[in-house]
Amino acid sequence: MLSPDDLQIAERDRDIPGLGVVLDADALIDILQAGLPDAEIRTLEPSYVHYKPH
């Protein structure tokens, strides 16, 4: 689930398709599991993301 701050960033910067998914670990893992079923991805641990809009 996106934090309120991440949601605000994703809604504001529409020039980066999928930004909201990348910032949402639950959504990203669902997409990765669907696209890579043999990889057996079970968890994701978010790490630091440096985002600097122009």
In a domain, 49, yes or no: no
Looking at residue 48, its pLDDT comes to: 83
Q: What is the pLDDT of residue 34?
A: 96
In a domain? residue 48: no
CA dihedral 32, 37, 43, 45 (to 10 degrees): -30
In a domain, 44, yes or no: no
Is the pLDDT reported for residue 47 higher than 90? no
Q: Which two tokens stand for residue 32?
A: 């990765």
Q: What is the pLDDT of residue 1?
A: 85
9 domain-assigned: yes
Asked whether residue 32 is domain-assigned, the answer is: yes
**How many folded domains does the chain comprise?**
1
What is the domain extent for residue 24?
Answer: 4-39
pTM: 0.75
What is the pLDDT averaged over residues 21-39? 94
Position 8 in a domain? yes
